[in-house]
Amino acid sequence: MSPEPGPPGGRTGAPGDGPGLREVACLFCGVQDEELRFRDGAFRVVRCRRCGLTYVTPRLPPERLHEMYQEEYWTSGRASDFGYGQYLADAPHYLRTFRLRSRILRALRPQPGRVADVGCAAGFFLRVMADLGWSTTGLEISASMCEHARTTLGLPDVRRGDLLSARLPDGAYDVLTLWDVIEHLEDPPAHLRAARAALRDDGLLVLETQDVSSAFARLMGRRWQHYKHEEHLYHFDPASLERLLRDTGFRSVRSTRRFSGKYVSPAFLAERVGRVHPLLSTLAAPLRLFPGGSLYVNLRDELIVVAARA
């Protein structure tokens, strides 16, 4: 992708506006030897010239990165750029998505065991796995999402924190999952090393993230829906994911775009197409009249990777 200029003045009203942003170096190389992909307001999406990793710089300060996943993230007024419009209202779609994705785990682990979901949000994946007979543990930094998982979904073991702050017992889990999480983390290697320690010797890591090298991402350019600069700090591709896994003691077992799509509401779809062009948002507005509908969308711009301890 050739560098694209940002809009005049950038976005307004975003958490990234104002002081406190900090420049960061490449996660793998530790230096800023960057090729500009595009600018968007205060943010740059860059590609490391040495290793090819795509990432966002500058970034919010660490405390702000943690704070933003509380209330405002789940009921965002600008969901195409940050967070979710009404996350809990889409519970039926998330449950249906994870019932589909659970087929990957059932194929690899036919017998129920112990699963930990990192960044479990309201616990929809864990509810699906518990219904299949699995013993479940969840980690989530949002207090309100933890409470919802415990009280509304009836999941007894949901802990507030992440793999670094709420350490899981060593060698305790058959499967550990990170759905749409790795791209949000300041230090992905540290989290994956902690994940490796929590897995049994024959345990599996399952992570899903967006693929910046996918055909759809290249087609959309700067309008790709996963360019959400406050929260998506890294944009991996198959090569950079393989390096991340290798550097943290894993080996890839399976990589697939199958089941990487999501069930969404027509209203969600109408909101997201507005990122492509405002006219499309207007044309898709009638979809908002069908709030109870469900559409399966797989643009093949996300990857699910299953890895084992190396």
In a domain, 133, yes or no: yes
In a domain, 124, yes or no: yes
- Of 24-33, 65-74, 87-96, 210-219, the one with minimum mean pLDDT is 65-74
For 101-114, write each residue's pLDDT tens digit.
Answer: 999 999 999 999 99
In a domain, 254, yes or no: yes
CB atoms near residue 283 (< 10 Å)? 13
In a domain, 49, yes or no: no
For 221-259, write each residue's pLDDT tens digit.
Answer: 999 999 999 999 999 999 999 999 999 999 999 999 999
Question: Which run of H or of E encompasses 176?
Answer: strand 173-179
Q: CATH number, domain at 204? A: 3.40.50.150
The verdict on pTM exceeding 0.85 is yes
Residues 30 and 33: their CA atoms lie apart, in Å, by 9
In a domain, 29, yes or no: no
In a domain, 53, yes or no: no
Query: What domain range includes position 205?
Result: 76-209+243-309
For 126-151, write each residue's pLDDT tens digit.
Answer: 999 999 999 999 999 999 999 999 99
- For residues 76-90, one letter each, b for 16 or more C-beta atoms within 10 angstroms of the residue's C-beta and e for the rest, the string is beebbbbbebebbeb
For 156-195, write each residue's pLDDT tens digit.
Answer: 999 999 999 998 999 999 999 999 999 999 999 999 999 9
Backbone φ and ψ of 68, nearest 5°: -70, -15
| Largest interatomic CA distance in the chain | 56
DSSP states of 211-277: -TTSHHHHHHGGG-TT--TTT--EE--HHHHHHHHHHTTEEEEEEE-TT--EEE-HHHHHHHHTTT-
- Structural domain total, the chain: 1
Q: Tokens in use for 214?
A: 């996918």
In a domain, 285, yes or no: yes
Average pLDDT over all residues of the chain: 88
In a domain, 27, yes or no: no
